[in-house]
């Protein structure tokens, strides 16, 4: 869901429109955008653990792959109003100028995750992490979590349903999750770190909650490719820029970078919007999805990749 670094961290948690039936009506990489009713609905519990469910999960992973930095996705984001989320915790795609010396720390943080996880299956028997997790991919059906302790920490988050912005969201550091796998077997998982943050963000989607509901100020990340596609919407956002807040946040980021011993780069294109303009800013984000509140992320993909995906989809159809 996010990248820590001097570049503005990008946490992308993606998710589609109302389903349970309609998934096939959407283009392969189409995502429901803020303003789409399905994002505010409470999702239905999963009762059928069939091949169609597994196919929806595979598609969710393909969406995350196509969008590059996605680390989590909830079924409502792809238009399926059902209690299903996926997460992928492995090395994300990094900006080309991401500092070499920070890569190792990031890798360690992400690959070290398995050591922080305790897993118990429905029989109460301890199960190895690898039994459930392949290549850092998780699919959770009917997930319900509780915090372990009351410590919260800020999590940098973004969402494919709210393109172009990010914010720091307070999330519990450690949680315990009950869920079912894709065959319907119940499990309990205790985790912290990135996976715990992803689960909190994605399960919110199942209850019609978006990360922006938890925060007051939001950050418009000018470098995000979406703004190249919608320059006029970027200008509308810029009219809401809070100069003082932006100055303070840049200074805060600079100090954080200093404390963490990393290089700090500020960007002219990135700025903050304060709470009083939050609703206006979100309404602008909503325009990205047009009248049907959907956005096809293929628009952001290089042509060659789009072509490859088409070939892939074609061969799968066979
Ligand atoms: Zn999200």
The answer to whether residues 13 and 157 touch, using CB atoms and an 8 Å cutoff, is yes
How confident is the model at residue 88, as a pLDDT?
Answer: 81
Q: How far is the CA of 157 from the centre of ligand 1 (A)?
A: 8
Q: How far is the CA of 27 from the centre of ligand 1 (A)?
A: 19
In-domain check, residue 1: no
Report the residue count for the chain.
318
Could you tell me the pLDDT band of residue 21, with boundaries at 50, 70 and 90?
Answer: very low
Instruction: Decide which of 136 and 310 is more confident.
Output: 136
Q: How far is the CA of 61 from the centre of ligand 1 (A)?
A: 14
In-domain check, residue 3: no
Bridge-partner residues for 178, per DSSP? 144, 188
In-domain check, residue 186: yes
Could you tell me the pLDDT band of residue 302, with boundaries at 50, 70 and 90?
Answer: low
3-class state of residue 192 by DSSP? strand
Q: How far is the CA of 62 from the centre of ligand 1 (A)?
A: 16
Query: Mean pLDDT across the chain, nearest whole number?
Result: 80
pLDDT in tens, 138-152: 889 999 999 999 999
Q: Which of 161-165, 172-176, 186-190, 251-255 has the highest mean pLDDT?
A: 161-165
Provide CB contacts within 8 A for 101, sequence distance 6+: none
How confident is the model at residue 317, as a pLDDT?
Answer: 39
Instruction: Decide which of 266 and 80 is more confident.
Output: 80
In-domain check, residue 50: yes
Nearest alpha-carbon partner for 284 in 207, 205, 202, 218: 218
How confident is the model at residue 26, as a pLDDT?
Answer: 72
Residues spanned by the domain of 186: 12-317
How confident is the model at residue 9, as a pLDDT?
Answer: 33
Both tokens of 84, joined, read 């299903």
Kindly state the percentage of the chain with pLDDT values over 90.
49
In-domain check, residue 193: yes
At residue 16, does pLDDT exceed 70?
no
Could you tell me the pLDDT band of residue 182, with boundaries at 50, 70 and 90?
Answer: confident
List the catalytic residue out of 28, 30, 157, 202. Answer: 202
Q: How far is the CA of 87 from the centre of ligand 1 (A)?
A: 11
pLDDT in tens, 25-74: 577 889 999 999 999 999 999 999 999 998 999 899 888 888 776 789 99
Provide CB contacts within 8 A for 200, sequence distance 6+: 145, 155, 171, 172, 175
Evaluated on CA atoms 76, 82, 83, 89, the torsion sign reads: negative
At residue 304, does pLDDT exceed 50?
no
How confident is the model at residue 186, as a pLDDT?
Answer: 87
How confident is the model at residue 120, as a pLDDT?
Answer: 65
**Residue 96 is a catalytic residue:** no
In-domain check, residue 156: yes
Summarize the confidence of residues 261-272 as an average pLDDT: 87
How confident is the model at residue 264, as a pLDDT?
Answer: 84
Could you tell me the pLDDT band of residue 121, with boundaries at 50, 70 and 90?
Answer: low
How confident is the model at residue 195, as a pLDDT?
Answer: 85
Q: Please name the residue that has the structure tokens 């118990």.
A: 120
Summarize the confidence of residues 190-217 as an average pLDDT: 93
At residue 131, does pLDDT exceed 90?
no
In-domain check, residue 27: yes
Q: What CATH number did the domain enclosing 241 receive? A: 3.90.45.10
- Taking CA atoms, 203 is separated from 142, 143, 152, 294, in Å, by 9, 7, 17, 21
At residue 214, does pLDDT exceed 90?
yes
Could you tell me the pLDDT band of residue 249, with boundaries at 50, 70 and 90?
Answer: very high
How confident is the model at residue 64, as a pLDDT?
Answer: 84
State how many domains the chain has.
1
Q: How far is the CA of 159 from the centre of ligand 1 (A)?
A: 4
In-domain check, residue 161: yes
């Amino acid at each position: 869901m996010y990248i820590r670094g001097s570049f503005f961290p990008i946490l992308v948690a993606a998710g589609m429109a109302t389903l349970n039936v309609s998934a096939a009506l959407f283009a392969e990489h189409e995502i429901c955008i803020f303003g789409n009713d399905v994002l505010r609905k409470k999702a239905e519990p999963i009762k059928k653990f069939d091949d169609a469910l597994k196919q929806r999960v595979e598609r969710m992973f393909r969406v995350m792959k196509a969008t590059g930095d996605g680390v989590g996705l909830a079924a409502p984001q792809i238009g399926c109003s059902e209690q299903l989320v996926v997460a992928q915790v492995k090395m994300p795609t990094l900006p080309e100028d991401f500092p070499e010396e920070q890569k190792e720390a990031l890798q360690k943080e992400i690959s070290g995750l398995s050591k922080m996880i305790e897993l118990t299956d429905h029989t109460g028997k301890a199960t190895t992490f690898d039994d459930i997790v392949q290549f850092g991919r998780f699919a959770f059906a009917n997930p319900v979590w509780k915090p372990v302790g009351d410590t919260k920490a800020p999590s940098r988050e973004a969402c494919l349903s709210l393109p172009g912005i990010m914010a720091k969201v307070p999330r519990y550091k450690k949680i315990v999750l009950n869920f079912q796998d894709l065959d319907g077997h119940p499990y309990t998982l205790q985790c912290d770190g990135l996976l715990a943050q992803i689960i909190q963000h994605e399960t919110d989607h199942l209850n019609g909650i978006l990360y922006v509901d938890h925060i007051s100020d939001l950050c418009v990340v000018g470098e995000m490719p979406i703004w190249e596609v919608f320059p006029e919407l970027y200008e509308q956002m810029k009219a809401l820029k809070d100069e003082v807040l932006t100055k303070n946040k840049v200074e805060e980021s600079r100090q954080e970078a200093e404390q963490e011993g990393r290089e700090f780069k500020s960007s002219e294109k990135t700025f903050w919007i304060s709470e009083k303009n939050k609703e206006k800013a979100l309404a602008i984000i909503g325009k990205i999805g047009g009248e049907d509140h959907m956005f096809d992320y293929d628009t952001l993909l290089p042509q060659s990749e789009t072509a490859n995906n088409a070939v892939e989809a074609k061969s799968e159809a066979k």
